[in-house]
Chains A and B, each alone.
Chain A
């Protein structure tokens, strides 16, 4: 047990370093490349003075290390800051862009600023609102992935020279060659608008998750099919298979208890390193294309509008999740195969 604890502590410490590094990289990157969030926030018809005032109020004119220190200070108290643009109700906070018209008086500007300040939504709440939708999409996507990839990958690995392996290979090659946004378009066209089988675009119930989940699964499945067939085929060649036959074990027992168990370690590692990243990236794109109200859509919009706090919050969350998944993967791996060291 003591090993497990020291292992966990060491990995968590490393993980925290990585998360901090990610947060700093994103933080610095956002501030170094051009594009002023205050300009987008207040619109084009405000004076330079107001602009500067607002920027200073938000701390955007401080040196980057100072800004970062303030951000981290809030972060450790569980405050991820507030969106620059999104309002409490989820819609856009009232900004100058919403109010057309000629000259704006100083009082009006002040009043509006107060309005903006109170109406800005906390990042934590925005992420919390989107999270259930994203988890639902990711979960269903993974389910579809496994339904397709496990049988194909397993049978492909067990029968390396037969048609099963060819089927696995060609399905994998085809899926990996389908650009997700194109597939999404074609599915929307064929299944939603022509055949009217499933709804898409937006979210008004569970059925809206199915098409995006299929797109996600097509993106993830090839990685699993390929990894599984390679590692199953690899462990089929090892001595314990012949040993099992000599010992007179039933074939199914050799396959399930020995081959699959041995093949599952590289699969788990694959899962941590590749699937985690792919799933995140895939969720972002599919949500954006299907206008699905999760964290992915939130983030892509935030990036396009320079809404720094949201981008930072999501990046930290994503890095944290990936770090945790990887620790979990290593824990499960040592549980399956006791020979592995913590």
Chain B
């Protein structure tokens, strides 16, 4: 397992003045893919925040008269329920939007936490070296060899799954890659003159790690973090689908789709429409992540 997925060679020709991170984001900002992704993402997030509050239709209140209404583009579809309604007459669009809210919350929170945890451990491991390093790297090896899904079901299968436990499971399974990258960035950075100079001038190890090394970790791995938000949202949905996600009545993509599966033959839209919204959200995030990746490659190639 010596192979690093992401090469973390620190760019030797980092320019004066503007930080790597800012240059990378500026590069990405100019890319079409990033703009499209961001636009879709912004619209979705705003809709998900505002619409369920304004529309007056609630995500959880059943309505017997309006069961199994088809979406707008089918015969008998109505503007009141553009994605149709489910087996209990609840509006699928509003439910999916609330599901999106929950998925985004879990996705972003878990990635932020795994980034902080992984980067922290990786920097300490690379900076201290020796046995701390050996132990930590073997743990990441071991963890990269257990499929996340086994770990997740093992833990979620017995604890009553809620937002906290799901985020914890995702963080637990996702941190090793961040630790790996942070470690190799640290190994490269600590040899550089400015770090050695700071040390001679009496800077403490904590100061060096936090102020000098940590900022270098973001550029090589920012795109992984963005793509991971989408990946974690898929996992969250999958957990819900297997029945070990956030439990109903709180709507999540997973439990809406799982409940709808029983009705798939006659009312196909119930499990399908929430999936479409999830896919659009994932696509927008992945577009941004890929643009960031290309921006990173450009900067690291020294273009």
Q: Which of A186, A193, A280 contacts B272 (CB 8 A)?
A: A186
| B167 interface contact, C-beta 8 A | no
Interface string of A271-304 (1 = CB under 8 A from B): 0111001001100110010000000000110011
- In whole angstroms, what is the CA distance A33 to B157 when docked? 10
Tell whether, in the assembled complex, residue A314 and residue B150 are in contact, meaning their CB atoms are under 8 Å apart.
yes
Residues of chain B within 8 A of A6, CB atoms compared: none
Contact size class for A?
35 or more
- In whole angstroms, what is the CA distance A331 to B171 when docked? 33
Tell whether, in the assembled complex, residue A179 and residue B238 are in contact, meaning their CB atoms are under 8 Å apart.
yes
CB interface residues, A 300-342, toward B, < 8 Å? 300, 303-304, 306, 311, 314-315, 318-319, 322-323, 326, 329-330
| A217 interface contact, C-beta 8 A | no
In whole Å, how far is A62's beta carbon from the nearest beta carbon of chain B? 21
| B144 interface contact, C-beta 8 A | yes
Tell whether, in the assembled complex, residue A179 and residue B283 are in contact, meaning their CB atoms are under 8 Å apart.
no
* Known A-B contacts A34-B159, A173-B287, A179-B275; A303 and B150 likewise in contact (beta carbons under 8 Å): yes
Residues of chain A within 8 A of B264, CB atoms compared: 185, 189
Tell whether, in the assembled complex, residue A30 and residue B287 are in contact, meaning their CB atoms are under 8 Å apart.
no
Residues of chain B within 8 A of A177, CB atoms compared: 230, 279, 282-283, 286
The residue of chain A having its C-beta at the shortest distance from the C-beta of B227 within the complex is A176
Q: Which of B153, B238, B261 contacts A303 (CB 8 A)?
A: B153
Residues of chain A within 8 A of B155, CB atoms compared: 29, 33
CB interface residues, B 145-167, toward A, < 8 Å? 145-151, 153-155, 157-159
| B187 interface contact, C-beta 8 A | no
Tell whether, in the assembled complex, residue A35 and residue B157 are in contact, meaning their CB atoms are under 8 Å apart.
yes
In whole Å, how far is B226's beta carbon from the nearest beta carbon of chain A? 12
- In whole angstroms, what is the CA distance A179 to B237 when docked? 8
| A18 interface contact, C-beta 8 A | yes
Residues of chain B within 8 A of A306, CB atoms compared: 157-158
In whole Å, how far is B96's beta carbon from the nearest beta carbon of chain A? 12
| A17 interface contact, C-beta 8 A | yes
- In whole angstroms, what is the CA distance A174 to B139 when docked? 33
| B265 interface contact, C-beta 8 A | yes
Contact size class for B?
35 or more
Interface string of B48-67 (1 = CB under 8 A from A): 00000000000000000000
Tell whether, in the assembled complex, residue A35 and residue B158 are in contact, meaning their CB atoms are under 8 Å apart.
yes
- In whole angstroms, what is the CA distance A226 to B157 when docked? 34
Residues of chain B within 8 A of A69, CB atoms compared: none
In whole Å, how far is A22's beta carbon from the nearest beta carbon of chain B? 5
In whole Å, how far is B94's beta carbon from the nearest beta carbon of chain A? 19
The residue of chain A having its C-beta at the shortest distance from the C-beta of B290 within the complex is A173
In whole Å, how far is A307's beta carbon from the nearest beta carbon of chain B? 11
The residue of chain B having its C-beta at the shortest distance from the C-beta of A186 within the complex is B272
- In whole angstroms, what is the CA distance A179 to B232 when docked? 11
The residue of chain B having its C-beta at the shortest distance from the C-beta of A179 within the complex is B234
In whole Å, how far is B262's beta carbon from the nearest beta carbon of chain A? 11
In whole Å, how far is B114's beta carbon from the nearest beta carbon of chain A? 16
| A4 interface contact, C-beta 8 A | no
Tell whether, in the assembled complex, residue B153 and residue A300 are in contact, meaning their CB atoms are under 8 Å apart.
yes
Q: 22 pairs across A/B with beta carbons < 8 Å?
A: A18-B1, A18-B141, A18-B145, A22-B146, A25-B146, A26-B150, A29-B151, A33-B159, A180-B234, A182-B257, A185-B264, A186-B272, A186-B275, A277-B148, A280-B147, A285-B238, A300-B242, A306-B157, A318-B146, A322-B144, A323-B1, A330-B2
3 smallest A-B Cβ distances: which pairs?
A269-B3, A177-B282, A35-B158
**Chain A residues packing against B (C-beta within 8 Å):** 17-19, 21-22, 25-26, 29-30, 33-35, 169, 172-174, 176-182, 185-186, 189, 193, 226, 230, 269-270, 272-274, 277, 280-281, 284-285, 288, 299-300, 303-304, 306, 311, 314-315, 318-319, 322-323, 326, 329-330
Knowing that A179-B238, A303-B153 are A-B contacts, what are 4 other residue pairs whose CB atoms are under 8 Å apart, sorted by A's residue number? A18-B142, A25-B142, A186-B272, A277-B147
